[in-house]
Structure 1
Amino acid sequence: MKNIILIFVLGIIVSLCAFTPLEKRPQYKLRLVVIDAGHGGKDPGTHGKYVQEKEIALKVALEVGKTIKKNFPDVKVLYTRMTDKFVDLQERAAIANRNHADLFISIHCNSNNSKAIAGTETYTMGLHTSEGNLEVAKRENSAILLEDNHEKKYGGYDPDSPMGHILFANYQSAYMENSLRFASHVESQFEKRANRHSRGVRQAGFIVLWKTAMPSALIEIGFLSNLTEEKYLRTEEGRSNIANAIYRGFKAYKEDMETTD
């Protein structure tokens, strides 16, 4: 009889527990973003007929950060540079890591031997699937040649070696899904809001994304080798449209992350 009563009581307890709501997990909040203006100082990056990549990248990066802070005052924005200065590629990632950033955004301008090619591209860390992706990574990674002791810092990595980029592709896998999610939002906004030609989300081995311990993406905002696109990026309106599209991509990504159970 005692055993029957015990089983009955245990059954009631189990039933009550089944209907008792579990303590909710703390809601994820995107609290800190690091915005990286590509190149700078002695490293001009690529160039068009009138402007250099480092100039355009900095202006757009500062505008993106300003818009984020205006609309999300609870989000902290840090920059890898706010002036025309040279910053090592690994230091850019280190800034994000030291501050425990939730997202790393690197802003660049593109170039191609064909002056007819135009449009935006957003890259995440991964294996390049085309020769074009490899060439973009090689050009952006060549900035390490301007760094002191770059052979030692990057383990003998040669930016002209395709094998080096393949090795880099094995990193960042833990953050790949969210990096792709952010990149997709950005390219969608470029096309729908800024009326730009989106060349899509791509993957390649970028040093600046290599050591970032958070979702990250490198955004090519247009081709300075294309005269029409260079003219657009030289205007305040053009840069504002680009910056606003990146902000809207950030906003959509933030909403995604903060509403996902």
Structure 2
Amino acid sequence: MLKKTLLTLSFFSLLTVLVSFTFEKRQKAIRTIIIDAGHGGNDVGARGAYSNEKDICLAVESKLAELIRKEYPEIKLIRTRPTDDYVQLHTRADIANKNHGDLFISIHVNSAPAVQHKEFIGNKTVVTYVGKGKKKKKVTKQVPQYRYYTTPNPAKGTETYIWGAHKNEDKEVAMKENAPMLTEDNYKQNYGDIDPNSPEFVALSLLKTKQFFKRSATLAGMVEEQFTLAGRTSRGQKQRQVGIWVLQATAMPSILVETGYISDRTEEQYLNSQEGQDEIARCVTNALKSYITWLEKQQVSSDGQTQAPAVSSKETYSFLKAVEQEEQKRKALAK
């Protein structure tokens, strides 16, 4: 009887150890998260009618940090810009890499230029003279007149970007985001002779980040799904082609969340409101929950490395499939 009792106790002790070990291992799917508030200090980012991008980014990032700490106290959380200071772009990437981040989330605000309009308002009679001397003649002609004006851009909604080196359009967007890096006093010391928008740098960065592409795309899709559930206009997950430094240089799954358009008056009010900022932070946190659950469901190989996980939604699958097909076309044309 004693022997049987001891065997039973041993079995339950072993079971407890195994359960504890499994739980601990699952928690290690994400151990460190880096969150980044875009811009800062003299770099105000996009400007709205009455507010600046840098302030909205910091407010949302602060709320996001608070929610993540509440939901996941066991996760190490690193903030690259907890105050209104400009943190150099290479420093943000260094912070993420040196702390061995498992995830990098950058918060930004979008903007769209005013729409240019040209309206015909009538003709103007213009008198000119041709010829010389006695042959000089008076000529009149009707010249169309136009009124030029602008109206606010109707663009609104959220976008979540991952870095996609093999896309080429919209280079201006990437160059605008990388511009502060090029003006830093010690640019050469920190970055060397690289051009972050050059094809060579893009190619090298692709090799470094390709292994994180699927996870980054999946998290981006989850963030946009949460925005949709909250009633926001989602413009979807996208690639930021020639690159954003913080996405290029971080050796981990990385996303950049464009939380709304400051150029739209309604969205600017939303982005500056407590309710709006709380909702944005909650959506990103809910997406993080889904992402961690998704990771923890994946099989773990014998050497302790997580195998490449399957995608989590039809939208993300379609996105990755389109990217794959585009890459195949690009390679075929290059041959």
With the shorter chain as reference, the TM-score category is: 0.7 to 0.9
Work out which of the residue numbers 170, 192, 205 in structure 1 matches 2:229.
192
TM (normalized to structure 2)? 0.66
Q: Deviations over 1:103-154 (max 9, x none)?
A: 000110111114211111111111364644x333222111213312324533
Supply the AA of the counterpart residue of 1:220: E
TM (normalized to structure 1)? 0.83
What is the deviation of 1:234?
A: 1.1
Residue 81 (structure 2) aligns with = 81
Residues 208, 251 of structure 2: 8 Å contact kept: no
2:279 paired with 1:241: yes
Q: Deviations over 1:168-192 (max 9, x none)?
A: 5554111111111111110110111
Work out which of the residue numbers 140, 165, 178 in structure 1 matches 2:215.
178
Work out which of the residue numbers 232, 254, 260 in structure 1 matches 2:270.
232
Supply the AA of the counterpart residue of 1:30: I
Change (3 A) 1:181 1:34: same
Partner Cα distance (1:162, 1:226) in 2? 32
For 1:21-60, what aligned pairs fall within 5 Å after superposition? 26-27=25-26, 28-60=28-60
- Which shows bigger deviation, 169-178 or 108-117? 169-178
Bigger strand share: 2
Partner Cα distance (1:192, 1:149) in 2? 44
Partner Cα distance (1:222, 1:102) in 2? 26
Partner Cα distance (2:101, 2:234) in 1? 27
Supply the AA of the counterpart residue of 1:66: E
Residues 125, 171 of structure 1: 8 Å contact kept: no
Residues 165, 206 of structure 1: 8 Å contact kept: no
Question: Larger relative contact order (C-alpha < 8 A, sep ≥ 6)?
Answer: 1
Identity of aligned residues (%): 42
Partner Cα distance (1:165, 1:226) in 2? 34
Partner Cα distance (1:152, 1:112) in 2? 34
Higher-Rg structure is 2
Partner Cα distance (2:200, 2:279) in 1? 35
What is the deviation of 1:163?
A: 4.2
Residue 68 (structure 2) aligns with = 68
Q: Secondary structure at the match of 1:78?
A: strand
Work out which of the residue numbers 133, 149, 157 in structure 2 matches 1:119.
157
List gaps (5 residues or longer) in structure 1: 1-22
Change (3 A) 1:242 1:165: farther
